[in-house]
């Protein structure tokens, strides 16, 4: 047999063995090899990390094994990887991933369980799960390459696959430098120049000895890839190409040019909205994703200026596509799927952002029926639809809450299950809301936002939805009065059940505010510090009420004296004291809010109003600049034209 055919038999046969397809691998090899050569093929597979039956491997001598090393499968042409902090699905906790991006690596061992940064691999070294974006790249590559030529692995196994034949290593970057909302500032609470865990984990990949040894091309993509360009770190990390945007529509041609080293291709590749794929152009992933992520929509269209997806029309994936993705995850060991969306209520949306409740009911019923799926996790929702039509939550609760893995003693569910969708509340200031995000409240107006939040939270809590709510501190032009309005809203939410996470404004790439300046920790006002630590007082009382208060009562003042005062001045003192649990009566003259005599109630919070009259009748009313799914036909003519002004 010619050398070329022999090498091909090795590549194809061992490729099957690596995937634990023993029978296919055996047939592939025997179709090309003699009995004697077959032994070498199987041993070469063993040397290459293939999963071969133990009884087969035991029949071969060490001398034969050494001989097989000469025929060792060449290293794959393309290796895909992601940092451990982004790939891990420890305890199915997204919160754990957020901690990895916020806590300084120097202190990571004190706050993050080491198990949280461990990932799982198949016996051959391939990753069992990685972020969904990386799985999508893998799927697109497998249209043109074999499984033997494309390997997705974790950092622990990079040296098993990256070798002399490896032409490219692609790295997923969700938050590679830890400078997106919240994370950069949280790490700085412990010191100015401390690197968060996420950044340290990313650094381990780009400085890995095997990458330095073989010098493959380095390509970085993902929702946080822009951080590397903005921080001017491409040369430092020896990154050849950085890709920013949705890639499915242009992938084939773009990747071919990257592999060929096309000199006309820019180093930083920014994909415009005209390259935005239709759902028909987005394939079902081939292998399992971290958290069992299954996309149900892309885009939003509400027009918030600080958010990229908000400027893209919402697109829903067909139910068959969603179920195939869930089945892929279940087949490879996932017992939970996360239905990923910028806003779950936009799935199969009706005109004017009307929620299609029957479609959502069918979606949850169908996913729950996939063999192997035990629990379902939700992602983002908006709160305005809950107020406009409370029956949305009433009807969805039986399909959502009992299938959650999360528990809380305040839940009235028989198993104390809760749903914790992510909701961006952002601000309590009607003025800032009107400027930057008025489409978020549709069909209500900015001056109604406070009532919308309170009524929506009451409805959610009544049905055991305890949401993860975010606020943005330091929006451009924020005044003391704006911060007081947010504090007033926060006070009204004092009995709400959920988590309130304050973040600092960061101008994200591909948003209408990308040229604005970031909020700076050193410029935080006393009121902003009060807002920040009052949020965390709520969270401590709701989620850590069973823990001893002494660690906070004595530990927090110690932090202030040793570090906090030196870093941020005396303005942080009394907000910290409140967070630590000191009585407000000792600080009421120093702080804006006063919780003297207040004790948290376990009853369902009550909103001050029962009915709110919508202020808008259509998304096409002047000044809204929203794009709903019924306007998709207009995108074909000018897909790159985003709304000109913010919402």
Pair 133, 44 in one domain: no
Residue 15 in any domain: the answer is yes
CB atoms within 10 A of CB 258: 19
pLDDT at 520: 85
Average pLDDT over residues 195-206: 90
Query: CB–CB of 153/161 below 8 Å?
Result: yes
pLDDT at 313: 82
Pair 122, 237 in one domain: yes
pLDDT at 212: 95
Q: By C-alpha distance, which of 157, 112, 133, 130 is closest to 18?
A: 157
Could you tell me the pTM of the whole model? 0.87
Residue 392 in any domain: the answer is no
- The 3-state secondary structure of 103-156, one letter per residue: CEHHHHHHHCCHHHHCCCECCCCEECCECHHHHHHHHHHCCCCCCCCEEEECHH
Pair 158, 269 in one domain: yes
Secondary structure class of 518 (helix, strand, coil): coil
Strands 468-473 and 499-504: parallel
Query: CB–CB of 499/543 below 8 Å?
Result: yes
Q: What is the DSSP letter of 528?
A: H
Q: By C-alpha distance, which of 265, 159, 264 is closest to 219?
A: 265
Question: 506-522 pLDDT, tens per residue?
Answer: 888 888 899 999 888 88
Average pLDDT over residues 110-134: 89
Last residue of a domain, one of 241, 259, 275: 275
Pair 121, 63 in one domain: no
Question: 149-194 pLDDT, tens per residue?
Answer: 999 999 999 999 999 999 999 999 988 987 765 555 677 787 767 7
Q: Is the pLDDT of residue 20 over 50?
A: no
Q: Which two tokens stand for residue 365?
A: 């019923």
The mean predicted confidence, pLDDT, of the chain is 86
Q: Which helix (H) or strand (E) holds 500?
A: strand 499-504
CA distance 357 to 420: 19
Q: Which two tokens stand for residue 74?
A: 């060449």
Pair 137, 250 in one domain: yes
pLDDT at 513: 93
Query: CB–CB of 311/303 below 8 Å?
Result: yes
Pair 14, 97 in one domain: no
More confident residue, 148 or 95: 148
Question: 274-301 pLDDT, tens per residue?
Answer: 888 999 999 999 999 999 999 999 999 8
How confident is residue 36, by pLDDT bands cut at 50, 70 and 90?
Answer: low
Question: 607-646 pLDDT, tens per residue?
Answer: 999 999 999 999 988 878 888 876 654 434 344 433 333 3
pLDDT at 555: 87
Query: Beta partners for 508?
Result: none
Q: What percent of the chain has a predicted confidence (pLDDT) above 70?
A: 84
Query: Beta partners for 172?
Result: 82, 221
Q: Which helix (H) or strand (E) holds 270?
A: strand 268-270
Range in 19-23, 84-88, 317-321, 407-411 with the lowest mean pLDDT = 19-23
Q: Which helix (H) or strand (E) holds 219?
A: strand 217-221
Pair 82, 172 in one domain: yes
Q: Is the pLDDT of residue 414 over 50?
A: yes
pLDDT at 48: 46
Question: 332-351 pLDDT, tens per residue?
Answer: 999 999 999 999 999 999 99
Pair 147, 246 in one domain: yes
Q: Is the pLDDT of residue 94 over 60?
A: yes
Pair 40, 96 in one domain: no
Q: Is the pLDDT of residue 70 over 50?
A: no
Residue 473 in any domain: the answer is no
Vertex 237: Cα angle to 232 and 240 (nearest 5): 90
Q: Is the pLDDT of residue 598 over 80?
A: yes
Order of all β-strands in the sheet with 78-82 = 150-152, 78-82, 168-172, 217-221, 241-244, 268-270
Residue 312 in any domain: the answer is no
pLDDT at 542: 94
Pair 41, 117 in one domain: no
Range in 38-42, 443-447, 448-452 with the lowest mean pLDDT = 38-42
Pair 45, 96 in one domain: no
The number of CA neighbours under 13 Å toward the Cβ of 397 is 20
Q: Is the pLDDT of residue 31 over 60?
A: no
pLDDT at 415: 98
CA distance 10 to 148: 10
CA distance 137 to 75: 19
Q: Is the pLDDT of residue 16 over 60?
A: no
pLDDT at 616: 94
Residue 461 in any domain: the answer is no
Residue 412 in any domain: the answer is no
Q: What is the DSSP string of 602-627?
A: -SPP--S-S----S-S-TTSTT----
Structurally, how many domains does the chain consist of? Answer: 2
Q: Return the percent helix, strand and coil in the chain, to nearest 5.
A: 45, 10, 45
Question: 209-219 pLDDT, tens per residue?
Answer: 999 999 999 99
Residue 114 in any domain: the answer is yes
pLDDT at 184: 59
Last residue of a domain, one of 52, 69, 86: 69
Last residue of a domain, one of 26, 46, 69: 69
Q: State the sign of the Cα–Cα–Cα–Cα dihedral 112, 114, 120, 121.
A: positive
Residue 120 in any domain: the answer is yes
More confident residue, 597 or 29: 597
Domain that holds residue 181: 78-275
Average pLDDT over residues 127-154: 96
CA distance 172 to 221: 5
């Amino acid at each position: 047999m010619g050398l070329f055919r022999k090498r091909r038999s090795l590549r194809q046969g061992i490729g099957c063995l690596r995937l634990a397809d023993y029978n296919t691998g055996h047939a592939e090899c025997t179709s090309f090899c003699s009995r004697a050569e077959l032994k070498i093929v199987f041993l070469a597979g063993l040397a290459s990390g293939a999963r071969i039956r133990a009884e087969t491997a035991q029949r071969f001598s060490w001398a034969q094994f050494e001989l097989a090393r000469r025929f060792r499968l060449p290293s794959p042409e393309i290796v895909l990887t992601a940092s451990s902090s982004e790939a891990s699905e420890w305890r199915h906790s997204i919160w754990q991933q957020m901690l990895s991006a916020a806590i300084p690596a120097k202190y990571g061992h004190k706050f993050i369980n080491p198990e949280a940064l461990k990932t799982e691999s198949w016996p051959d070294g391939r990753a069992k799960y990685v972020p969904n974006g990386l799985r999508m790249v893998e799927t697109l590559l497998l249209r043109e390459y074999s499984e033997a030529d494309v390997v997705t692995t974790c950092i622990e196994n990079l040296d098993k696959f990256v070798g002399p034949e490896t032409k490219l290593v692609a790295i997923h970057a969700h938050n590679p430098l830890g400078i997106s909302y919240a994370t950069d500032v949280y790490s700085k609470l412990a010191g100015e120049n401390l690197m968060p865990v996420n950044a340290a984990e990313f650094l381990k990949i780009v400085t890995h000895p095997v990458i330095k040894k073989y010098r493959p091309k380095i390509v970085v993509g993902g929702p946080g890839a822009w951080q590397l360009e903005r921080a001017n770190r491409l040369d430092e990390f020896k990154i050849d190409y950085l890709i920013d945007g949705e890639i499915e529509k242009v992938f084939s041609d773009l990747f071919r040019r990257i592999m060929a080293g096309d000199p006309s291709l820019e180093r930083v590749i920014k994909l415009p909205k005209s390259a935005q794929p239709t759902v028909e152009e987005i394939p079902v992933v081939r292998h399992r994703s971290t958290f069992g992520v299954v996309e149900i929509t892309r885009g939003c269209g509400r027009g918030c200026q600080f958010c990229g997806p908000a400027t893209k029309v919402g697109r829903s994936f067909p139910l068959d596509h969603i179920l195939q993705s869930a089945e892929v995850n279940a087949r490879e060991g996932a017992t939970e799927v996360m239905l990923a969306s910028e806003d779950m209520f936009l799935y199969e949306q009706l005109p004017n952002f009307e929620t299609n409740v029957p479609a959502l009911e069918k979606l949850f019923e169908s996913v729950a029926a996939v063999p192997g799926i035990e629990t379902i996790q939700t992602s983002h929702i908006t709160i305005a639809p809950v107020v406009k039509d409370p029956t949305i939550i009433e009807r969805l609760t039986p399909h959502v809450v009992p299938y959650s893995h999360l528990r809380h003693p305040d839940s009235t569910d028989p198993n104390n299950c809760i749903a914790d969708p992510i909701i961006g509340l952002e601000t309590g200031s009607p003025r800032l809301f009107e400027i930057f995000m008025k489409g978020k409240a549709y069909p209500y107006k900015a001056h109604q936002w406070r009532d919308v939040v309170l009524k929506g939270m009451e409805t959610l809590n009544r049905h055991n939805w305890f949401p993860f709510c975010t606020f943005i501190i330091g929006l451009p032009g924020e005044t003391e009065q704006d911060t007081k309005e947010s504090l007033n809203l926060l006070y009204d939410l004092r009995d709400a059940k959920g988590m309130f996470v304050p973040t600092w404004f960061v101008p994200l790439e591909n948003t209408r505010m990308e040229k604005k300046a970031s909020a700076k920790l050193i410029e935080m006002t006393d009121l902003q510090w009060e807002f920040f630590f009052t949020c965390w007082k709520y969270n401590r009382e709701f989620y850590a009420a069973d823990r001893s208060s002494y660690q906070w009562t004595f530990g927090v003042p110690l932090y202030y004296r040793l570090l906090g005062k030196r870093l941020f001045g005396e303005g942080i003192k009394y907000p910290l004291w409140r967070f630590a649990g000191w009585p407000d009566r000792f600080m009421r003259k120093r702080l804006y809010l006063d919780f003297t005599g207040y004790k948290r109630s376990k009853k369902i919070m009550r909103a001050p109003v029962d009915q709110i009259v919508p202020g808008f009748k259509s998304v096409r009313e002047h000044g809204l600049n929203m794009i709903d799914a019924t306007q998709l036909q207009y995108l074909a003519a000018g897909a790159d034209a985003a709304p000109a002004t913010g919402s």
